[in-house]
């Protein structure tokens, strides 16, 4: 069993330290009020057992809570008071400077919590450490100065989660849809240098990657670009290459068809090189926050403005898929699955059925998913039903990163606008805590629910007001040079925060556990489902109420818990103990998802979750867990076609691992040792994470740097749906 110290370091559990602490308090009271050695041994033994029952690393604070409770159980109240007083005095000393020890532990790479906080950051790297150090300072300022005490306490107790406090001190937003079209067609400025409209496809790709890096360094969430914005540059290169070929053969009698054929062959090579630029620069770029940009690439044939552009876009998509199927080489020269860029492929009438014009492209997408976990899939059919503007017209567009969706919006000319818009931030409510705090009383549940929602509302307005008054000069690439707007120098971004131009998100987590506690059944049960839908509708109603009050687009968002799933689970265990089926895991369920252990087939799961996805307009994604599908592409296609007909946005979770020690190319497993979950190669039993490549999808994005113990247990517990 392991103990996590206050600075984040992990050490073996030592019962002698518990006994020593109790004896120290024991000596401070009169002899008649003291505990006996037998009682001290009993207390220490019970604390050890309680900690072991949690089946995870336990924090020092949790151990101390256990000790207090057990001393009280022994009726040694004088000893308990001395123990509590000493603990309080030490807390005051620590409060004088809350960041030093954590920062030092970051630098020395012995902070286990931080090591496992972000599955796409390597905490050994200086740039990551620098970002984490800045994050610790930001969190300290946020808690002491920028947030009200009630929100800080609710966040620390796990009642709500105030996301990205490590960036909140700065005037930064969450995620966005980059207006790549505007920047490429009208020019942009990067690091003080004017970048004019590119004169070839390959140059456009190169500029796109520079834009991606700049945007990532000026926000903290995901960003999305569309390949459609690169498509016009294919024909620019075509005409340029054709002119060059014609000049080469000017003195030779060559038919025009031959010139065109040679030109198209060279054009394909340029497209290949351009996509390689995007693929390799994105995975090798290191932004100011110490990681590759969280970028999503959108592939939607329906965005093309004419048939020529659509066919050119199809060539770009084909090359993108082929290169992703190949993967990237790791340090040993083996082709592995990269985390970025994330790919999204839109299923539409022209590609979803055998015999349709772009069916071969869809088959290629299925092969890519089977091999590399991406692309994920958006159903044009369902999205046009769900994303309807005030004129009654449906729209299909990409999410901002992994799952955060904008709401429909018409500009001042009445035209739909999505690229150039953004999300202001997220605050998440812990639905499980609402349920447990009510004790199962329905009337009390709704009362507590409204109180917690109002706390989220207050926190979201703090997020909004933190952005309000921000000058465009804070991030010129975003606000002045086209990524999100073309504001003047010295102009505030305030007008972009109102009227639906941007969104702000009420997140939610643990719907399954909430319903399980309140009804005794999973939300997939017909008797419990109505309660689950009512909970969802209630949160939507609140968002609508807040929107009308503030003219800000509040939107309900299915939170992609990564490290927070573990935090919430630990907080619930501390507050309510171990409740079978509710708090007996070291994680809680993402958003509305069916619990990972529940036996359900892929099609039933997608159909069931589609109703809840519709009630998460601010963003959500569903998934099905599948085995190795590389030899069963027809089954992948069947799932994709079902997605098209039934759900707006979904993905298939496959496995893509490699052991660098023995060359094993299969699923790396998870084993338990001394209360800790470890990754292990099933062939050579290698447990050195630096000598294996593991890729898993845990919250929309693929992670490749491992996860905390709660998320690791969730991955271990997953059942197959196909």
Own/partner pairs, 78-85, CB within 8 angstroms, 24+ separation: 78/29, 78/30, 78/33, 79/22, 79/25, 79/26, 79/28, 79/29, 79/33, 79/34, 79/35, 80/25, 82/25, 82/26, 82/28, 82/29, 83/21, 83/22, 83/25
Residue of 175, 183, 368, 514 marked active site = 175
To the query of whether residue 562 is one of the catalytic residues in this protein, the response is: yes
Residue of 26, 44, 237, 404 marked active site = 404
Own/partner pairs, 532-539, CB within 8 angstroms, 24+ separation: 532/592, 532/612, 533/611, 533/612, 533/615, 535/431, 535/449, 535/511, 536/511, 536/592, 536/612, 536/615, 536/616, 537/615, 538/446, 538/449, 539/429, 539/453, 539/506, 539/508
Residue of 181, 318, 319, 562 marked active site = 562
Own/partner pairs, 581-585, CB within 8 angstroms, 24+ separation: 581/513, 581/516, 582/432, 582/436, 582/513, 582/516, 582/517, 583/432, 583/436, 583/513, 585/710, 585/713, 585/714, 585/717
Q: Is the dihedral of CA 639, 354, 649, 705 positive or negative?
A: positive
Residue of 557, 592, 658, 701 marked active site = 557
Which of 710, 703, 591 shows the shortest CA–CA distance to 655? 703
CB burial string 272-299: b at 16+ within 10 A, e below: eebbebbbebbeebebebbbbbbbbbbb
- CA distance from start to end of the chain: 36
Tell me, rounded to whole angstroms, the distance of Cα 622 from its chain centroid: 13
Instruction: Determine the Cα–Cα distance for residues 398 and 385; give it in Å rounded to an integer.
Output: 15
- HSE-up (13 A, CA, CB side) for residue 158: 24
To the query of whether residue 700 is one of the catalytic residues in this protein, the response is: yes
List, in order, residues 6 or more apart from 646 with CB less than 8 Å away. Answer: 379, 382, 606, 607, 610
Instruction: Determine the Cα–Cα distance for residues 66 and 711; give it in Å rounded to an integer.
Output: 25
Question: Which residue has tokens 């952005």?
Answer: 467
Residue of 401, 425, 700, 710 marked active site = 700
Judged by DSSP in three states, 424 sits in strand
Q: Are 523 and 511 in contact (CB under 8 A)?
A: yes
Tell me the angle at which helices 126-141 and 100-107 cross, rounded to the nearest 10 degrees.
170
To the query of whether residue 692 is one of the catalytic residues in this protein, the response is: no
Residue of 299, 400, 518, 571 marked active site = 400
Under DSSP, the state recorded for 445 is H
- Peptide bond preceding 375 in cis form (omega within 30 of 0): yes
Q: Are 643 and 347 in contact (CB under 8 A)?
A: yes
Instruction: Determine the Cα–Cα distance for residues 666 and 664; give it in Å rounded to an integer.
Output: 6
Instruction: Determine the Cα–Cα distance for residues 152 and 141; give it in Å rounded to an integer.
Output: 11
Instruction: Determine the Cα–Cα distance for residues 87 and 366; give it in Å rounded to an integer.
Output: 58
The token pair that represents 82 in the structure block: 């001395």
Q: Is the dihedral of CA 392, 395, 401, 403 positive or negative?
A: positive
Tell me, rounded to whole angstroms, the distance of Cα 337 from its chain centroid: 18
The token pair that represents 214 in the structure block: 């700049």
To the query of whether residue 255 is one of the catalytic residues in this protein, the response is: no
Q: How many CB atoms lie within 10 A of CB 342?
A: 26
- Enumerate the β-bridge partners of residue 376: 344
Judged by DSSP in three states, 358 sits in coil
- Enumerate the β-bridge partners of residue 388: 394
Instruction: Determine the Cα–Cα distance for residues 494 and 498; give it in Å rounded to an integer.
Output: 7
List, in order, residues 6 or more apart from 435 with CB less than 8 Å away. Answer: 445, 513, 514, 515, 517, 518
To the query of whether residue 368 is one of the catalytic residues in this protein, the response is: no
To the query of whether residue 175 is one of the catalytic residues in this protein, the response is: yes
Residue of 183, 205, 315, 402 marked active site = 402
Cα angle: 420, vertex 426, 430; to 5 degrees: 155
To the query of whether residue 7 is one of the catalytic residues in this protein, the response is: no
Residue of 423, 437, 502, 653 marked active site = 423
Residue of 44, 59, 174, 610 marked active site = 174
DSSP one-letter string for 93-111:
HHHTSSSHHHHHHHHTT--
To the query of whether residue 402 is one of the catalytic residues in this protein, the response is: yes
Among all residues, which ones are annotated catalytic?
174-175, 400, 402, 404, 423, 557, 562, 700
């Amino acid at each position: 069993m392991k103990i996590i110290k206050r600075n984040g370091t992990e050490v073996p559990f030592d019962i002698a330290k518990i006994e020593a602490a109790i004896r120290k308090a024991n000596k401070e009271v009169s002899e008649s009020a003291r505990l006996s050695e037998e009682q001290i041994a009993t207390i220490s033994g019970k604390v050890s057992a309680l900690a072991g029952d949690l089946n995870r690393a336990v924090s020092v604070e949790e151990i101390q809570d256990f000790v207090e409770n057990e001393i009280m159980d022994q009726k040694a109240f004088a000893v308990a008071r001395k123990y509590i007083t000493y603990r309080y005095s030490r807390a005051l000393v620590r409060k004088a400077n809350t960041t030093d020890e954590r920062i030092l532990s970051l630098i020395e790479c012995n902070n286990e919590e931080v090591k496992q906080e972000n599955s796409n950051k390597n905490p050994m790297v200086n740039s990551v450490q620098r970002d984490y150090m800045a994050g610790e300072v930001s969190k300290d300022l946020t808690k002491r100065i920028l947030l009200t005490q009630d929100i800080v306490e609710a966040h620390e107790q796990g009642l709500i989660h105030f996301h990205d406090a490590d960036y909140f001190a700065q005037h930064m937003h969450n995620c966005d849809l980059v207006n790549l079209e505007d920047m490429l067609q009208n020019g942009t400025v990067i690091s003080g240098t004017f970048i004019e409209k590119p004169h070839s496809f390959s140059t456009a790709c190169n500029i796109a990657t520079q834009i991606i890096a700049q945007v990532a360094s000026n926000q903290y969430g995901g960003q999305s670009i569309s390949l459609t914005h690169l498509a016009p540059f294919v024909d620019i290169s075509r005409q340029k290459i054709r002119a060059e070929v014609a000049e080469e053969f000017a003195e030779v009698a060559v038919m025009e068809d031959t010139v065109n054929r040679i030109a198209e062959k060279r054009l394909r090579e340029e497209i290949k090189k351009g996509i390689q630029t995007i693929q390799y620069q994105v995975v090798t770029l290191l932004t100011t926050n110490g990681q590759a940009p969280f970028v999503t690439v959108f592939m939607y044939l329906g965005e093309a403005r004419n048939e020529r552009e659509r066919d050119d876009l199809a060539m770009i998509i084909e090359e993108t898929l082929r290169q992703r199927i190949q993967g990237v080489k790791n340090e040993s020269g083996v082709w592995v699955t990269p985390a970025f860029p994330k790919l999204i492929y839109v299923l539409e009438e022209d590609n979803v059925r055998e015999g349709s014009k772009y069916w071969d492209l869809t088959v290629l997408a299925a092969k890519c998913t089977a091999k590399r976990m991406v692309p994920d899939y958006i159903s044009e059919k369902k999205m046009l039903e769900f994303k309807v503007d005030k004129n009654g017209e449906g729209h299909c567009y990409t999410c901002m990163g992994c799952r955060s969706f904008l709401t429909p919006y018409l500009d001042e000319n009445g035209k739909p606008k999505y690229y150039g818009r953004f999300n202001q931030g997220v605050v998440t409510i812990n639905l499980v805590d609402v349920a447990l705090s009510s004790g199962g009383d329905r009337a009390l549940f709704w009362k507590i629910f409204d109180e917690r929602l109002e706390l989220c509302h207050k926190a979201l307005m703090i997020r909004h007001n933190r952005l309000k008054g921000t000058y465009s000069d804070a991030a010129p690439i975003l606000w002045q040079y086209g990524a999100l707007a073309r504001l003047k120098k010295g102009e505030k971004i305030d007008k972009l925060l109102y009227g639906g131009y941007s969104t702000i998100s009420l997140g939610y987590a643990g719907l399954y556990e909430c319903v399980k506690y309140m009804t005794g059944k999973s939300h997939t049960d017909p008797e419990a489902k109505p309660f689950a839908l009512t909970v969802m509708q209630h949160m939507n109603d609140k968002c609508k109420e807040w929107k009308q009050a503030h003219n800000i687009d509040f939107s309900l968002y299915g939170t992609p818990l990564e490290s927070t799933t573990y935090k919430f689970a630990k907080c619930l265990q501390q507050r309510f103990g171990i409740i079978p089926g509710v708090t007996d895991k070291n994680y809680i369920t993402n958003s509305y998802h069916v619990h990972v252990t529940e036996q359900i087939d892929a099609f039933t799961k997608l159909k069931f979750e589609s109703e809840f996805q519709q009630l998460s307009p601010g963003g959500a994604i569903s998934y099905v867990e599948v085995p190795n599908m590389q030899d069963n592409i027809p089954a992948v296609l069947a799932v994709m076609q079902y997605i098209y007909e039934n759900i707006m946005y979904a993905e298939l979770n496959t496995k893509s691992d490699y052991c660098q020690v023995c060359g094993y190319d299969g699923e790396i497993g998870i084993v338990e040792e001394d209360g800790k979950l470890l990754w292990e190669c099933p062939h050579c039993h290698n447990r050195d994470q630096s000598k294996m490549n593991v890729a898993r999808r845990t919250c929309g994005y693929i992670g490749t740097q491992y996860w905390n113990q709660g998320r690791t247990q969730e991955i271990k517990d997953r059942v197959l749906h196909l």
